[in-house]
Structure 1
Amino acid sequence: MKLLLVTVLAHAALGGWVDVDEWAQFKLTHSKLYADQFDELKHMKTYATNKAYVAKHNAEADAGLHTHWLGVNKYADMTSEEFRAQMNGYRPSEERLQGRPFQGTGRTAPDTADWRDQGAVTKPKDQGQCGSCWAFSTTGALEGAWKLAGNDLVSLSEQQIMDCSFDYGNDACDGGEMRYAFKYLIDNGGIMAEADYRYTARTHHSCKYEADKAVAHCSASTIIQSQDETELMDAVGNVGPIAVGMDASHIDFQLYSHGIYSNNHCGTDINDLDHGVLAVGYGSENGKNYWIVKNSWGSGWGEDGFFRMAKDDGNMCGIASDCVYPTI
């Protein structure tokens, strides 16, 4: 009866545009559950709207109007407002500096860089339905720095940072800040492996850190807040993976599939940023420069969990507006 009602309502609302079997497969593939048939219909209508948007955008991209393409991914049943509220948990603070200001390395940055090739980047992770992107950005930068300091690459615990850094201004699934996370890690003296302090995608108000199980640490952090991509290139090219904030509030980023992402409506001020990610390299394709960035939405999103962002294009989406990396 429920399926019949949803089918009838869906065809009435959408004119049959979304095939019921297609919708059933989408739910199965992405383990989607809804509160009731009316909640499901709402998401089905959003899916239809987003699917049409993907088709229109990709036709324009094929015609050369965009440099990135979209896909009907696991977030296709969410509006951009729903998505931002649930997933984009980076909360830039008014306390701008929380670390040492970047002074430059004094070295020429290489023409291209990709720290994945040096084994300094763990596989893409999935933050789930939790605004913990800031914690994944933090661990990504520390994982890279720890490896490049001569240690083994180890996947570090986002859940520890979420559970244990409330006193530093972070709020677990309700958002946080990479700079505050590094301040916690410096004061705490260590971080456990993800295997020993597993990610739950939940907010817990109890810290279960065990000092004898710490596998990495950092002694300081360095901040780049100049909105200067030349400085970010120096850091990414010469130092390693860098935790960065960005404006990820737009539907075409939510549904990104591949290509070099750009959006003229993206904000570039630090107050526009709402998502924490990890810059792991940069390069060029057909004369267009790009950043290589690791996301925390799983390997099924984007280019196997990564995306390319337009580089040297007016600080696209604020990628150089709030950046931080640790010193071992």
Structure 2
Amino acid sequence: MEQLEDTESYYMTFEQWVKKYDKHYDTEEVRDSRRNIWAEQSLKVKLHNLEYDTSKETGYRIQLTRWSDQEQAALLTAGDDVFDEDLLRNLPSVDWRVGNHVTEVKNQEENPVCWIFSAVSAVESHNKILNNELVVLSVQQLVDCINGGDQAGQVYQAFNYMVEHGCIREEGYPQTSPFVRGPCQTAKREVAVEVLRWKSVDISNHRNPEPEFQAAVTAGPVVTTLVFSSLDKLRDFSSMDNNEENIFSDPDPHNGNNVAHAVLVVGFGSQPNRRNDGIDHYWIVKNSWGTEDHLGFFKIAKDRGNQCQIASYGMYPVVRSTVGTGV
């Protein structure tokens, strides 16, 4: 990332920024639209740096860049992860639910198949980001057609299946009620989304993996495996008042059975801490336990020692849209 020469450069005007990066717009309408986006990014920069100046909790300053007039999705290129790594590490907040890039929460019920739900959710989101179409995909397809699809498994197994066989729309292969494994019935059902391959998040600093994980989440939702000392802690958390404002943390994740649970990380952000007038940072997690008890989407503490090992592991798909009705 370019280094600005002085503190005031963090707070340049739009006209100064346009001149610095030699920006040109085809019409006044486009210029006005980009200026509005730039103004939002400029405010985020100011707030982030103010927090750094007053508390040092963020650990770094950020600055306006040549991409500050673009929506976060516009930073991507179709089909792969071509983006400015430093920029993605330093965006103050991202929420892929904004713009309808994340499907509704589903319910795995009593089945230990979080690895399937999280992988399918990732494909849904990345397809929307790359192709601007939010297609709800079938989890029942994978449960029925993967050997052991109704048992505990690994996320890569779900991605490998989708790479080989593609994904059918949920309306063409709906989830059963009650949710149980059945015979594989993909014949005569068209593939709606193809998965070209999957990738692991490249973590080089295992002592502090969260900045690199943040860069990946900025480019699109990422599947990870949360490690808990007990899932009861997460269930107890769901009963707290004002749960949407609360941030989950496990003070001793290494004490217990170390239960693993696959989820989709769809963003990150920060909010005021009313107890000490500080700032709390969090990850936004999409779960697969239904929408009751506030655990459809919930927050996990960010930049606090890699809570629940959230950033130790991550996977995401590279997708290509195909023509298909799924029926």
Smaller-chain TM-score range? 0.5 to 0.7
Give runs of aligned pairs for residues 1-328 of structure 1, distance below 5 A. Answer: 106-109=85-88, 110-166=91-147, 171-188=148-165, 190-200=166-176, 201-204=179-182, 206-210=183-187, 212-224=189-201, 226=203, 227=206, 228-237=209-218, 239-248=219-228, 249-257=230-238, 258=243, 259-267=246-254, 272=258, 274-286=260-272, 287-302=279-294, 305-328=296-319
> CA RMSD for the aligned pairs?
2.3
Q: 1:45 is matched with which residue?
A: none
Q: Return 5+ residue gaps in structure 2 as ranges.
A: 1-80, 273-278, 320-327
3-state SS of 2:116 partner: helix
Q: Is the 8 A contact 2:283 2:300 kept in 1?
A: yes
TM-score under structure 2 normalisation? 0.62
The superposition leaves residues 245-275 of structure 1 with CA deviations (integer Å, 9 ceiling, x where unpaired) of: 112433220232221000112149xx94511
Aligned partners of 2:105, 2:236: CA distance in 1, in Å?
17
Aligned partners of 1:321, 1:273: CA distance in 2, in Å?
15
The superposition leaves residues 55-92 of structure 1 with CA deviations (integer Å, 9 ceiling, x where unpaired) of: xxxxxxxxxxxxxxxxxxxxxxxxxxxxxxxxxxxxxx
Q: 1:44 is matched with which residue?
A: none
Question: Match for 2:294: what amino acid?
Answer: G
Q: 2:275 is matched with which residue?
A: none
TM-score under structure 1 normalisation? 0.62
**Displaced runs of 4 or more, over 3 A:** 102-105
- Structure 1 residues 125 and 327 mapped into 2: Cα distance closer, same or farther (>3 Å)? same
Aligned partners of 2:310, 2:249: CA distance in 1, in Å?
11
Q: Return 5+ residue gaps in structure 1 as ranges.
A: 1-101
Aligned partners of 1:199, 1:212: CA distance in 2, in Å?
15
- Structure 1 residues 177 and 321 mapped into 2: Cα distance closer, same or farther (>3 Å)? same
Q: Is the 8 A contact 2:231 2:259 kept in 1?
A: no
Question: Match for 2:318: what amino acid?
Answer: T
Aligned partners of 2:248, 2:270: CA distance in 1, in Å?
13
Aligned partners of 2:123, 2:294: CA distance in 1, in Å?
23
Question: Match for 1:240: what amino acid?
Answer: G
Question: Match for 1:325: what amino acid?
Answer: Y
3-state SS of 1:135 partner: helix
Q: Is the 8 A contact 1:273 1:318 kept in 2?
A: no
3-state SS of 1:191 partner: coil
How many residue pairs match? The answer is: 217
